[in-house]
Structure 1
Amino acid sequence: MGENGQVKPTAQPIYDELKKQILSGERAPGEPLRQDEIARQYGVSKIPVREALMKLEVDGFVLIRKNKGAIVREVSATEILNIMDIRVALECKALELSIPNMIASDIELAGKILDDYSKHSDPAQWSDMNLRFHHALYEPCSNPLLLRMISDLQQRIGPQLRLLVTTVTGLERPQAEHAAILEACRVGDGGKAVELLRKHIETTKKETAAKLRRIDKRI
């Protein structure tokens, strides 16, 4: 890697693709990342592969074990809950900035997502709809950096853990809270909307923490 922490041009495509595969769940937590196999796949030497893996380790996606090679890094229960704490700060700020900029079509889009949300029974679809609903609320904030930070946090949890969180919370409680947040946005009550969002994420965190404790006891 260069002095600024960026990988060299030959390693960048490998870094980008491996990161994409990890975030999508195509490469599961704990899965080995063998340099020789990856090098053959991309038709390169092991050097750019090693550089890409080192950068992925710096960014928290990969764990390189001495004399054992690299594996996809697992997100710990503590990290999941810490990410939720950060979500509170970032997403509440995004919503605070969004509400003065919201127009009727923004409210209509979020409302349509909620309507579609309730028509599905698959938690995996709920997880996807949840992300879409929250993004619809935050997009009017007109702060691309803030939106990217929120998206990065959501992706870091990974699809499997997002599904776990969605399964734990179910449909009824989150949907009622989503509807209340959207109504506060519709009438322009920013203070109420932000407070409802804060409680929404904090409740989800508590439910997730309880589930993770039960999982740990079974292991």
Structure 2
Amino acid sequence: MLEQKNPRSKYRLKRQSLPEALADSLRERILNGEFKEGEPLVQEAIATEYECSRMPVREAFRQLEAAGLIVSKIHKGAVVTTLPSEQIMELFELRAMLECDILTYSLSRMTDHHLALSEQILELLEDAYHKRDIARVGALNWEFHRSLYVAADRIQTLALIQGINVQTDRYIRLQLLLTSAFEEAEQEHRQILKLCRNRDPSVVEFMRGHIIRAGHNLLDALSTRKVSGTAA
């Protein structure tokens, strides 16, 4: 466990295994854009910042690399991953393929309890939209999608989808920041839940369009930002 010597430390860690706590904290900072694409993460600096040794930092880095958020480079150490636009779109296309497949299995198995939970999560997500709380939006967006798939009881597929969502989370957050597409996302999620309540199979294609549109809107926004010379 990490002993917090400084009660005013900015980055307090919850009581959990130290490498896991470090990975969680660093993951959120990457997803929020505090660490930019291509930016190096220096073990010694991170260890000093969190007041711990380098050993748990190395383990946290391994977890982040497994999640596709950083990559180890010779002579450079750990670097926040940079994805070309075609690979970003590939992630959204993978999401669409897997999420539509699992939703097909889940739709006929959804109970009122499943739908009630989805409604609760969606209300929290909508509150985050209205407050422009990007960090909560990122986490709750995944929780809402996940809630629609658990009835399928396809554990391996869900694990794959979650891994892809970790990688696309920062781009979803970035898309919302660049396009202010909160209202569109809110409307589409409401429609998805409505179709699920009606056990309407057209929700599968609606979900596909929802995910693919998000990918294209993001790439358009990134392209516009690059052309205007405002890229970070």
* Shorter-chain TM band: 0.7 to 0.9
Q: Is the counterpart of residue 210 in structure 1 residue 220 in structure 2? A: yes
- Matching residue's letter, 1:64: S
How far apart, CA to CA, are the structure 2 residues paired with 1:54 and 1:108? 37
Whichever structure has more helix as a proportion of its residues is 1
Q: What RMSD, in angstroms, separates the aligned Cα atoms of the two structures?
A: 3.2
The structure 2 residue matched to 1:177, chosen from 188, 202, 211, is: 188
1:202–1:71 CA distance, 2 compared to 1 (3 A): closer
1:33–1:208 CA distance, 2 compared to 1 (3 A): closer
Q: Which runs of 5+ in 2 are unaligned?
A: 1-16
Matched residue, 2:162? 151
Matched residue, 1:23? 27
Q: Is the counterpart of residue 122 in structure 1 residue 128 in structure 2? A: no
- Matching residue's letter, 2:27: L
8 A contact 1:106–1:136 mirrored in 2 = yes
Matched residue, 1:109? 117
Normalization by structure 2: what TM-score? 0.71
3-state secondary structure, aligned to 2:139: helix
1:20–1:129 CA distance, 2 compared to 1 (3 A): closer
1:19–1:172 CA distance, 2 compared to 1 (3 A): same
1:169–1:135 CA distance, 2 compared to 1 (3 A): farther
The structure 2 residue matched to 1:32, chosen from 24, 27, 40, is: 40
3-state secondary structure, aligned to 2:202: helix
Q: Is the counterpart of residue 186 in structure 1 residue 193 in structure 2? A: no
3-state secondary structure, aligned to 1:28: coil
1:76 CA displacement: 3.7
Aligned positions of 1:54-133 closer than 5 A? 60-120=68-128, 121-123=130-132, 124=134, 125-133=136-144
1:107 CA displacement: 1.4
- Matching residue's letter, 2:150: E
- Matching residue's letter, 1:25: R
